[in-house]
Structure 1
Amino acid sequence: MPLSHEAPGTPPRADPLPAPERAAPRAAPTAAGAPPRRRWGSAWLTGGLVAVLVLLSLVSAGVGAYEIPLGEVIGSVQHRLGLGGAALDRVGESVLWNVRLPRVVLALLVGASLGCAGALMQGVFGNPLAEPGVIGISAGAAVGAVAAIGLGLTFFGNWTITACAFVAGLVTVGAVYLLSRNGGKTEVVTLILTGIAVNAFAGALIGLFVFFADSGQVNQITFWQLGSLAQATWPKVLAVLPCALAGLLVAPFYAGKLDLLSLGERPARHLGVDVERLRLALILVVALLTAAAVAVAGIITFVGLLVPHLLRMANGPGHRFLVPGSAVAGAVVLVAGDLAARTLAQPAELPLGVLTALLGSPFFFWLLRRTRRKQGGWA
């Protein structure tokens, strides 16, 4: 019979933890709730993305039919900012400041808007396959632009197509949201299915406008649907700037609530999140970002879908980094894509939306296969 120092009738005590386990300290979380290693990883990744974005922007501003060396681009920018440097000749200054830089800045704004909107959509729907077009924003904006072209509307002059696309995109989102409400609430599945129905209806309307349009209008509609930054100007940059900045500045403030929502709707409600109000606010932000981007650049696919995926693979699913990081990475992707679109087939120019789809769809298929292998299936 084993000896025991316990008093009779006393319940046995649990064995103490081994010394190594008992002494091992936990990593102290930061204010954002992430361990220091993840925090430093986010900082390095953000710094790397910003550095790549600056370098790509400068290179893109100098590359083209009229070559401008990188040092002269930097010198001209410094000269305009009053930081020294030197101005280019008359032709070089005109090409750089009236053709190249508006296009680079527009690519930055459109790419950042689409990347950030994609991260917000995937957070709101809790689905990695979600992207801005899933609730009909892109299709609705396309209907507005195609209607303006097909009907020959000119009430805003050169801004008519842009204005019609922007308003139609916002109206489409409002219609999808209202049609999805039932009993004062919206469900994710209902929103997605309503968006699919609205996308199909918008596609039919676009087909009708194309059917009744003449050859010149058909060419204009086709070019707009394929997506391009070829007609970038400073007025177009100023047109998209307020909407893009408003959405990009507001979005990071919802990152903490998106992290709670990723636990599920019921746990998020128990933790104090008004899920319905959060969903409505973020859908409005996504509508603002996407409608502004589509209105000036046409339909550009896969940026909002793939960029958040890549950042999750690199740094995890936390939205405090994912939302602003997707904006920076989206800008990087679109600046690089636009540079490739106008240089790969010189003197012709590839449609930017076609190029992003050609490169994005095989990568997305690989991503699906990789996810399926890691999870062992979709069930």
Structure 2
Amino acid sequence: MRVLTSTAARLQRSQVSVQAFTRLSSISLFLLASWADGDRLALVALQGTLLAIPYALMEALVGRPLSAGVVPAAWNVESWAKRVAALTMLPVGLVAFTAVSVALPDSSLTDRLFVIAPVLLQLPVEALFWACARTRGTARANLLPQLTAIGTLLGGTAFVASEVRVDVAALPAQFLVLTWVLLRPRTGSAGRVRPGARASLSVGAVYCVAALVDLSYTVALPAVAGAVAGQTAVVVLRALDLAFGPFHVVLSASTREDIVAGRRARWVTATRGLTLVTWLVVTAVVVGSEWVRGLLAADLAAVGAAALAGYCAYKLLLTVSTWTSVRHMIRARPRRYLVSAVGSRAIAFGGVAVALVWATDFSDLVIQLVVCEALVGAWFLVRMRSTPSDEAGPEAVEVVPESRTSSVTAAPA
């Protein structure tokens, strides 16, 4: 019994459980809508896509500055995180509302507002997760996304049984989690300064720009695949992404663990090991089982073994470049990291441009992906080696939880 309790506690503190619960709640909500609320299935699907905005935005504006140690020590971290969430609600709301209006022009005003409401409430949930991870400890911080995901699952089931629209299933859980966090007493070590609007956003602006550059490449890749190899290549890429879904859950968990740990992050961790094991298992299934590939897409089943192996190698190189990128971000000054991030995407976009001229089928596209990702990994390694070992943000904050209290120490300047 003690072993089970200890294992459950370790899982709760890990980012694997956070990512798994979040992904499970999203998939379950989609399935519930598909089974019992088909009229709103498109709304739920689009909502799931839009929820990527608060996750990426709050990691860039709150999580990464904390991890890199560029947040002034005098700032009250939780108050700053709340302000960032509040300041981003209007632009995120406008973007999300426009996206729903364009994608689903026949939807009513009520439908559009209900779709974007959980997206907006997820902003403070994510912002407070990153703040609490630094001021209250990882275990308590993990409860925010974990309880939100579990509450969404329960809410979706209850709403289906009660014939209530499924696209608002997350709202009760989000309200309850936010109420719980906001009513808790402040930590004794919290800084006293509550930064203004401009300062709150500027400290993470560089990381936000880097995230937007990455997002633009993510959008461009399938478009280029369709241009150089036709619709089949788009289908194959999407099917392979679905096959590597478990791998991406663990990879995301490993990067979030690094960001939460900041400069205390280690190269060798259990989550990194699990990431490599998951990559190996998925690779074996994708390359070795034509039946599994056929379940995902008929076009995928027809792809040759060499191209599949190349794509799997690309995912392994992506893992290395992702880990080195996060490690570099934690230890480099924001402007230096921005140069590194933009440089890596310049390499990637250069590969896309070459593919438009040179590639003629999916195999050629895979070769381009492998070569460019290897160059990106090498680029980050070079940038890391040339980064001064004592480089850090000025007046950085490092809050290390100690039981029920915390202490604030300044990181090296």
Q: TM-score, normalised by structure 2?
A: 0.29
Higher-helix-fraction structure: 2
Q: Which has the larger radius of gyration?
A: 1
Q: TM-score, normalised by structure 1?
A: 0.31
